Structure 1
């Protein structure tokens, strides 16, 4: 079977391929597209989920693209990355064949797929036989279709019999996931993007929306209600400068600020009594925030009491629609879960949930982070289920046609715990898929030391040149966006398709096909016999969501998703007699209540907007939202005499993306951002230290040092510095502290010193 899969035809996207769907894991290319000059596909960068129109040549390969005019997300707009989305496919450092490292010389040599698959299997089976199922782990991504994510997670845990695996969504969305699960009973962002256009007050916390999600900023600009746009951020970012109100918060003072806002709102009776009946824990919360007066939080927040009082009035004015939005400035924090829940609490007690222009809304980072949250089989059992629940394990086993005992009941270690176990020698092997932790992980110098403790490191990626691929024992070349099919889920829960419009170079395979090869070689191929192509996998995964809050059983397939302009979950079969819609005996967590949805339909009759919690019913056992809180903690690493500056990190420009693995392949995008690392410093600090504009400086933390060009910028406050996260040296400095609830790293606040080089 292995040789049969390897010998499958792998030609360009010609009419022959259109007539033979499902080859080499590309999935079905609908025959209706054969004569067409364009196809649509969701952008593979951020989780905004813009749809692009790809213009094809006669061979069916994309030669150009433009944003899709009528798609309900981007409405004909695209950011610089989207316009250049095809460029990374033609990069000269694309992987074209598997590579094996010579342990004696460190040099890598090409090998064929049969050799690579045999090596992968024999090495990992040997490690498992000797050290058990806890001895290896995978680290995956939020940037491949969820059909591939699910295949990886199920193959690893149920097919190969290992336990540990986590996705790099742990670096961006774990805080929001945990906050929603604890507060709402399920990871359920409640909003639709139309809320940007229907709010009277928009609060952006820890979010430089203009740069990180420029299309969503354009949605705000379409708002005709003349909204107050409030930006809570230590820096005077591009978004803060465009807002009506900038709150220059002291770094990590957000939790104390939100508690002070709740104090003022409750003290002044500006709550919504009806909305509070749909919560639990309000009385205890009201007592808790009684001590959080604006005066008491002034030192921690750096804000005058009058500023806090004014802000409290703005976000609780009766009759006004208030929406709260956050991204990495909140998520990447040592107390991010409680900060996110503090915003959720403010929305709950003021009645700003489930209505147009409202919500406590996390904006996702990666294109398929939401797909990872539901289908990667890491922190949650595939389909939004719970590994610890025996009924859930049995349901998933039945849906997959495998014994229930093949599904683990224990939780995997989290990302940081996996790496710590590798440092201790407990995890002997790592399989890294479509991510680059040797650049992106916090305190990245630790990974270089950790590498020597691993017996076997496999990296599966588009490029053989990433920091992670460069140190791998075995490199597997994988196809990227534009070379495969599948589904992504964006921040507003919208499911939509991507399509293959270029042939991957050389012997490169889609991740889906690589997983098929490995399943056959391992001896568990029969378990995935029905996973013939991504759309077949989609139907299996769709059916597994039945009766869950993320139920999408009414979606027939990819064609319906394309015709509908994407579909937000939940989308259950309402006419199904076995549906939870007609089963009052179901527990609240297993109930998808139609009356909890606000739905607006497009002119074609398809649901274009679907907002959750319209009736105040949540997915908790009581059906009420939980108000959760705890006292703010001290900074894990505060500035001191030796390291007197607070280092902030974040997005640099709208043309940069994560570790620049893809954006650096575009000549046009490279012209739109500085090639070398730069650091923003306040002119007053620069003068005191004798630092000139554009001068090379050295930044040091307790973990490492780097050089950068100084950029004198009054947009940062005195005593603070800002580094864009995209440069490989930056995470040598960041502090390895984590939120105790989500295990998400605290990238945003570290103590450093700076001096002229």
Structure 2
């Protein structure tokens, strides 16, 4: 019996196994990866970046049977959103991928065993590289798998398989924040803690709807006893805007103009923290000169805001002694000028000294559960651990810790997601390995990906389900374990490392992503390069060493058990000098309290550019501007998990809808519930009309969770982060006859 057979046979017993070096077909062996004993276990939720802890209730066999929110965890304090309550349900979905699937000569997907799947995987990719060069294979990864898995994948792909191009779907949500922080602060370093929601006097949400997108964060806002002013900058009157003190419905993508105008008001109203700016920033004089042109008259003319609302906003953010915190997410990040818009927010915090102290900060709310782990350890835009591919000393350092020859480490970062797909279109990339993401649904102008499929010689999809839009196009599907069926660490929006425990067995012969990556390494012939990566726990120790001396240093965290016992730990948490964990109940720490940043001179940079017009404004043929976003707190991304829950399906619409203002609906004779055709220059789909003043005249809104939506969106990209601009494209509407 081979070691692979032993691995799969052991899955039926009371204990599952993980992979280590061992003689056999693919170098597999067994070490215990025990399910928790009967009672309860804790695991960080695997949906969004909030990072809630859930108490998993277990039967006598240690299998999860139910869950409740963890009342002792400093993130969610006993609360959970609908997705958290239903987190176990997707694991039992009937369409789980339970065995590898290979497309036969007739185009049908047929079950195969792991030995055949790995042989086909290796032979096909190696032959493509042999014929077309190493660069003919690329990887599209995720922000959903564990930190240790992301790190192993990045190391395996780039150091072992010779795949230079690896990017993740984090590019769709958090690339802008990563780049904005790195350029301004010298490192990708969100400065805040969730406690800041509760102690701010003024909270400014720009392109963020936490009521729906991050409900537990919104609950933290509701716990604020300082009677805070809440300002929401959003073209749509979202649920968060409805609860705000002041809603600023700026025209789409004019938020950068508004922010520059507010910076001018900060200077005019003498609200600049001169000492902080002088000692801790660079570029203020140039920035002050630049924003002088953004008069209230110009701002109001370009944004469509009233002078009264603009003046009231300026008064609130410059109020003497007030703690002001700025928060942004996809409404900023998914823009054609996203990085400079995020930095316009950062500049406001810097020039007023509103950073590093309670209730302050320029604070990016992350999207996916482990997007922060991807940003630090995904090995895509930064060398694993936040290092620089272009520096020989960094490659030598990383190679020394991981035990790999620095010569195999690429000298430059990966191409971005859109550039990878462009290379597919150009015939340069002939094979893709897609992991825990659904590109065919989620990528901007999704019709392009459908066309590109014919350009690929081989498509591998590694996922929990074989039914996603992308998996249905695959040549080979590798069945992966999901959240709760494996162990590892997620890093949340506030930099908190949290441990997710294994509480269920994956179905059939599905394996954890970590195990699949180890299998691939052995099948490819580079297994010895990853001898140190014996388990997620061992990988955690490697990543600790990579973090040493970095801004994200967490060498003071002993292991997974330490994280579980402490209720998660925020980085930095260096081993020496020791950083004491704050006492309960807060257990939260901020960055930059000392005014020192991670740039070479320790100063933050104020960065700016002139506003750039919309790439595709409405016109006579396409008179409406389409915005997209989260539709319900019961929906998540492409619905591949939330759609498995009958409870969540009852809490959210199950068909696409489009919101339209009454002033626009009337000339069309359109009423709520009628079906309309929505057309852009790239595609067409159908949706049910919702006539509502939530959207402004001339604008429409559709939720992103349905595959039809991204056939419409316009493929514009921020020049710095290469993040797609999902939030603004021109569309036309046609009322369809009743059937």
Instruction: State the TM-score, normalizing by the size of structure 2.
Output: 0.96
2:677 and 2:734 in contact (8 A); partners too: yes
SS of 2:393's partner is helix
Q: Hey, what does 1:586 align to over in structure 2?
A: none
Q: Hey, what does 2:722 align to over in structure 1?
A: 743
2:122 and 2:524 in contact (8 A); partners too: yes
Q: Displacement of 1:131 after TM fit?
A: 1.6
Return closer, same or farther for 1:616/1:288 CA change in 2, 3 Å cut-off: same
CA distance in 1, matches of 2:432, 2:510: 21
2:19 and 2:515 in contact (8 A); partners too: no
**Residue 509 in 1 paired to residue 511 in 2?**
yes
Q: Hey, what does 1:217 align to over in structure 2?
A: 218
CA distance in 1, matches of 2:465, 2:13: 25
Q: Hey, what does 2:270 align to over in structure 1?
A: 269
Q: Hey, what does 1:695 align to over in structure 2?
A: 674
1:444-467 Cα offsets, whole Å, 9 max, x none, are: 000111000001100000000000
**Corresponding residue to 2:57 among 55, 58, 61:** 55
Note the 1:349-748 alignment, pairs <5 A. Answer: 349-575=351-577, 601-603=582-584, 608-748=587-727
Return closer, same or farther for 1:46/1:27 CA change in 2, 3 Å cut-off: farther
Return closer, same or farther for 1:269/1:464 CA change in 2, 3 Å cut-off: same
Return closer, same or farther for 1:22/1:489 CA change in 2, 3 Å cut-off: farther
* Gap runs ≥5 in structure 1: 577-593
Note the 1:9-158 alignment, pairs <5 A. Answer: 9-11=8-10, 16-17=15-16, 29=33, 33-34=36-37, 36-103=38-105, 105-158=106-159
CA distance in 2, matches of 1:694, 1:457: 40
1:323 and 1:358 in contact (8 A); partners too: yes
CA distance in 1, matches of 2:454, 2:584: 59
CA distance in 2, matches of 1:16, 1:100: 29
CA distance in 1, matches of 2:467, 2:29: 24
CA distance in 2, matches of 1:333, 1:507: 41
CA distance in 2, matches of 1:561, 1:190: 20
Q: Displacement of 1:29 after TM fit?
A: 4.5
Q: Hey, what does 1:756 align to over in structure 2?
A: 735
CA distance in 1, matches of 2:587, 2:698: 46
2:16 and 2:32 in contact (8 A); partners too: no
CA distance in 1, matches of 2:269, 2:571: 38
SS of 1:256's partner is helix
Question: Which range moved further: 261-270 or 161-170?
Answer: 261-270
* Gap runs ≥5 in structure 2: 23-27
CA distance in 2, matches of 1:569, 1:26: 32
SS of 2:41's partner is strand
CA distance in 2, matches of 1:192, 1:674: 33
Return closer, same or farther for 1:476/1:298 CA change in 2, 3 Å cut-off: same
CA distance in 1, matches of 2:9, 2:439: 31
Q: Displacement of 1:47 after TM fit?
A: 0.3
Q: Displacement of 1:3 after TM fit?
A: 3.8
CA distance in 2, matches of 1:727, 1:119: 33
CA distance in 2, matches of 1:666, 1:301: 41
Q: Hey, what does 2:231 align to over in structure 1?
A: 230
Q: Displacement of 1:61 after TM fit?
A: 0.5
Q: Displacement of 1:610 after TM fit?
A: 1.2
SS of 1:742's partner is coil
SS of 1:502's partner is coil
SS of 2:396's partner is helix
Q: Displacement of 1:264 after TM fit?
A: 1.2
Return closer, same or farther for 1:25/1:54 CA change in 2, 3 Å cut-off: farther
Return closer, same or farther for 1:720/1:489 CA change in 2, 3 Å cut-off: same
Q: Displacement of 1:627 after TM fit?
A: 0.2
2:383 and 2:413 in contact (8 A); partners too: no
1:691 and 1:755 in contact (8 A); partners too: no
Q: Displacement of 1:308 after TM fit?
A: 1.7
Return closer, same or farther for 1:13/1:484 CA change in 2, 3 Å cut-off: farther
SS of 1:544's partner is helix
Return closer, same or farther for 1:130/1:186 CA change in 2, 3 Å cut-off: same
Aligned residue pairs total 730
2:19 and 2:518 in contact (8 A); partners too: no
Q: Hey, what does 2:242 align to over in structure 1?
A: 241
Q: Hey, what does 2:3 align to over in structure 1?
A: 4
Return closer, same or farther for 1:493/1:539 CA change in 2, 3 Å cut-off: same
SS of 1:609's partner is coil
SS of 1:7's partner is helix
Q: Displacement of 1:306 after TM fit?
A: 3.1
Q: Hey, what does 1:588 align to over in structure 2?
A: none
Question: Which range moved further: 739-748 or 120-129?
Answer: 120-129
SS of 1:291's partner is coil
1:663-702 Cα offsets, whole Å, 9 max, x none, are: 0000100001111111111112111111121001000000
Q: Displacement of 1:603 after TM fit?
A: 3.9
CA distance in 1, matches of 2:382, 2:29: 25
Q: Displacement of 1:214 after TM fit?
A: 0.3
CA distance in 2, matches of 1:426, 1:653: 39
Instruction: State the TM-score, normalizing by the size of structure 1.
Output: 0.94
